[in-house]
Amino acid sequence: MEWAELSTETTQQRELVRAILKRIRFAGEETAAGFRVYGYVRNGEAVGYIA
């Protein structure tokens, strides 16, 4: 799996998902709808961690 989108509906959900992703150090990014987490990164691509 290259990446997955996690959508959140409320601010409380967003904060909870962010805290979990930070704790387990998942590579990904925050999006307008929630989060995108990466399961596979192609050679030469750089990704960050949820902060």
Q: How many domains does the chain have?
A: 1
Over residues 7-46, the pLDDT tens digits come to 999 999 999 999 999 999 988 999 999 999 998 888 888 8
Strand 3-7 to 28-30 pairing: unpaired
Q: How far apart (Å, rounded) are the C-alpha atoms in residues 29 and 15?
A: 14
Token pair in block for residue 40: 């596979």
Domain assignment of residue 50, yes or no: no
pLDDT of 39 reads 87
Token pair in block for residue 33: 């709808």
Domain extent, residue 23, equals: 3-38
pLDDT of 40 reads 83
Strand 3-7 to 34-38 pairing: antiparallel
pLDDT of 17 reads 96
pLDDT of 46 reads 85
Domain assignment of residue 15, yes or no: yes
pLDDT higher than 90, residue 5: yes
